[in-house]
Structure 1
Amino acid sequence: MNEKVSQDSINKALWSVCDTFRGTISADTYRDFILTMLFLKYISDVWQDHYDSYQKEHGDEPELINELMKNERFVLPPDASFYALYERRFEAGNGERIDQALHAIEEANGTKLKDSGKSVFQDISFNTDKLGEEKQKNTILRQVLEDFAKPELNLKPSRVGSLDVIGNGYEYLIKNFASNGGQKAGEFYTPPEVSDLLAELLDPQPGDTICDPACGSASLLMKCGRKVRENHGGKNYALYGQEAIGSTWSFAKMNMFLHGEDNHKIEWGDTIRNPKLLDKNANLMLFDIVTANPPFSLDKWGHEDAAHDHFGRFSRGVPPKTKGDYAFILHMIETLKPKSGRMGVVVPHGVLFRGSTEGKIREKLIEENLLDAVIGLPEKLFFGTGIPAAILIFKKEKVDDNVLFIDASREFKSGKNQNQLSVENIAKIVKTYRDGDNAEKYAYLASLQEIRDNDYNLNIPRYVDTFEEEEEIDLMAVRAERVKLEEELDALEVEMAGYLKELGYE
Structure 2
Amino acid sequence: MGSAGPVSRKPDMRLTQQQLEAHLWGAANILRGKTAGQDYKNYILSLMFYKRLCDQWENEADEAIAELERQQGRAFTEAQKAVFRARGAHRFFIPEDCRWGDMLAVSVNLGEELTLAMRAVADANEELKGVFTVDWNQPAPDGSGRPLIPNEVVYALIQHFNSHDLSNASVPPDVLGGAYQYLLKKFADDAGAKAGEFFTPPEVVDTLVHILEPQPGDTIYDPTCGSGGMLVHSADFLREQGHRATAAQYFGQEMNWSNAAIGKINSVLHGLEAQIVAGASTITDPAFRGAAGKVRKFSLVLANFPFSDEFWWLKPEFQTDDKKKKDKLKKETFGKEGYKDPFGRFGRGTAFKAPPAGYGDYAFILHCLASLTDTGRAGVVCPQGVLFRGQPEVEEETGEFDDEGNPKVKRRKADDEHLIRRALLESRLIDAVISLPLNVFYGAGVPACLLILKKQRPPERHDQVLLVYAARHYRELSNQNELRPQDLMRILVHAHAYGDPAKVPDLVAQHSRRIGKQIDARETDEVERLEAEYADWADTLTRLETQLTKDSAALANLTAGAIRDKAKVGLARLQAQRDRAAAKVAERDEKIAETRRRADDDRRDVEVFGAELGAIYGDPDELIKHARVVGIDEVEENEFNLNIPRYVDTFDPEPRVEVKDALTALRDAESALKSAEGQLLALLRGAGYEAK
- Cα distance, 1:318 vs structure 2: 1.7
Contact kept? 2:27, 2:44, Cα under 8 Å: yes
Q: How does 1:98-247 map to 2 (within 5 A)?
A: 98-109=114-125, 111-114=126-129, 119-121=130-132, 123-130=133-140, 136-137=146-147, 140-150=150-160, 154=164, 156=166, 157=168, 158-159=170-171, 161-177=175-191, 179=192, 183-234=193-244, 235-247=246-258
Deviates more, 1:228-237 or 1:321-330: 228-237
Quick check: 1:328 aligned with 2:328?
no
- Cα distance, 1:404 vs structure 2: 0.7
Determine which of 384, 388, 413 is the counterpart of 1:349.
384
Contact kept? 1:187, 1:296, Cα under 8 Å: no
- Distance in 1 (alpha carbons) for counterparts of 2:284 and 2:678: 82
Cross-structure match for 1:387 = 446
- Aligned partner of 1:372: which letter? D
SS at match of 1:150: helix
Contact kept? 2:61, 2:85, Cα under 8 Å: no
- Distance in 1 (alpha carbons) for counterparts of 2:181 and 2:234: 14
Cross-structure match for 2:455 = 396
Q: How does 1:308-319 map to 2 (within 5 A)?
A: 308-314=340-346, 315=350, 316-319=352-355
- Aligned partner of 1:19: which letter? R
Mark the CA change 1:450 to 1:401 in structure 2 (over 3 Å): closer, same or farther: same
Quick check: 1:84 aligned with 2:268?
no
- Distance in 1 (alpha carbons) for counterparts of 2:171 and 2:311: 45
Contact kept? 2:228, 2:263, Cα under 8 Å: yes
Q: State the Cα deviation string for residues 373-418 of structure 1 (Å, max 9, x = none).
A: 1011111111112223111000001122211111111222221112
Determine which of 403, 417, 428 is the counterpart of 1:358.
417
Mark the CA change 1:141 to 1:401 in structure 2 (over 3 Å): closer, same or farther: farther
Cross-structure match for 1:472 = 656
Sequence identity (%): 32
- Aligned partner of 1:416: which letter? S
SS at match of 1:319: coil
Cross-structure match for 2:30 = 17
Deviates more, 1:224-233 or 1:471-480: 471-480
- Distance in 1 (alpha carbons) for counterparts of 2:677 and 2:365: 70
Gaps of 5+ in 2: 1-12, 70-74, 314-329, 391-414, 501-616, 618-622
Mark the CA change 1:392 to 1:268 in structure 2 (over 3 Å): closer, same or farther: same
Contact kept? 1:209, 1:237, Cα under 8 Å: yes
Contact kept? 2:311, 2:358, Cα under 8 Å: yes
SS at match of 2:88: helix
- Aligned partner of 1:474: which letter? E
Deviates more, 1:153-162 or 1:323-332: 153-162
SS at match of 1:79: coil
- Aligned partner of 1:99: which letter? T
Determine which of 259, 266, 272 is the counterpart of 2:283.
272
Cross-structure match for 2:321 = none
Determine which of 261, 266, 272 is the counterpart of 1:255.
266
Contact kept? 1:38, 1:166, Cα under 8 Å: no
- Cα distance, 1:190 vs structure 2: 1.0
- Cα distance, 1:101 vs structure 2: 0.8
Cross-structure match for 2:632 = 448
Cross-structure match for 1:301 = 312
- Cα distance, 1:55 vs structure 2: 8.0
Cross-structure match for 1:431 = 493
When the two structures are aligned, how many residues end up with a matched partner? 489
- Distance in 1 (alpha carbons) for counterparts of 2:288 and 2:353: 23
- Distance in 2 (alpha carbons) for counterparts of 1:385 and 1:131: 31
Mark the CA change 1:284 to 1:368 in structure 2 (over 3 Å): closer, same or farther: same
SS at match of 1:12: helix
- Aligned partner of 2:432: which letter? A
Cross-structure match for 2:3 = none
Contact kept? 1:253, 1:266, Cα under 8 Å: no
- Distance in 2 (alpha carbons) for counterparts of 1:84 and 1:423: 47
Contact kept? 2:17, 2:176, Cα under 8 Å: no
Deviates more, 1:292-301 or 1:252-261: 252-261
- Distance in 1 (alpha carbons) for counterparts of 2:455 and 2:201: 27
- Cα distance, 1:154 vs structure 2: 3.5
- Aligned partner of 1:461: which letter? P
Mark the CA change 1:260 to 1:60 in structure 2 (over 3 Å): closer, same or farther: farther
Contact kept? 1:378, 1:389, Cα under 8 Å: yes
- Aligned partner of 1:221: which letter? L
- Aligned partner of 1:169: which letter? L
Contact kept? 1:11, 1:172, Cα under 8 Å: no
Quick check: 1:376 aligned with 2:412?
no
- Distance in 1 (alpha carbons) for counterparts of 2:284 and 2:450: 24
- Cα distance, 1:354 vs structure 2: 0.6
- Distance in 2 (alpha carbons) for counterparts of 1:48 and 1:422: 42
Cross-structure match for 1:33 = 43
- Cα distance, 1:490 vs structure 2: 7.7
- Distance in 2 (alpha carbons) for counterparts of 1:76 and 1:3: 24
Deviates more, 1:391-400 or 1:77-86: 77-86
Contact kept? 1:381, 1:420, Cα under 8 Å: yes
Contact kept? 2:138, 2:148, Cα under 8 Å: no
- Distance in 1 (alpha carbons) for counterparts of 2:639 and 2:474: 31
Contact kept? 2:211, 2:492, Cα under 8 Å: yes
- Cα distance, 1:236 vs structure 2: 1.7
TM-score, normalised to structure 2's length?
0.63
Determine which of 57, 74, 85 is the counterpart of 2:92.
74
SS at match of 1:195: helix
- Distance in 2 (alpha carbons) for counterparts of 1:152 and 1:464: 57
Deviates more, 1:44-53 or 1:138-147: 44-53
Contact kept? 1:99, 1:127, Cα under 8 Å: yes
- Distance in 2 (alpha carbons) for counterparts of 1:46 and 1:437: 51
Mark the CA change 1:465 to 1:139 in structure 2 (over 3 Å): closer, same or farther: closer
- Distance in 1 (alpha carbons) for counterparts of 2:199 and 2:189: 7
Q: State the Cα deviation string for residues 147-196 of structure 1 (Å, max 9, x = none).
A: 3532797362535725344454344324422x2xxx44533321122222
- Aligned partner of 1:213: which letter? P
- Cα distance, 1:52 vs structure 2: 6.4
Contact kept? 1:94, 1:138, Cα under 8 Å: no
Mark the CA change 1:415 to 1:69 in structure 2 (over 3 Å): closer, same or farther: farther
- Aligned partner of 1:381: which letter? V
Contact kept? 2:294, 2:344, Cα under 8 Å: no
Q: State the Cα deviation string for residues 58-110 of structure 1 (Å, max 9, x = none).
A: 6776545945993442223353233421331x22x32331122112212332x
Gaps of 5+ in 1: none
Q: State the Cα deviation string for residues 323-363 of structure 1 (Å, max 9, x = none).
A: 11100001111111012x00000011111111121111101
- Aligned partner of 2:658: which letter? D
Contact kept? 2:434, 2:450, Cα under 8 Å: yes
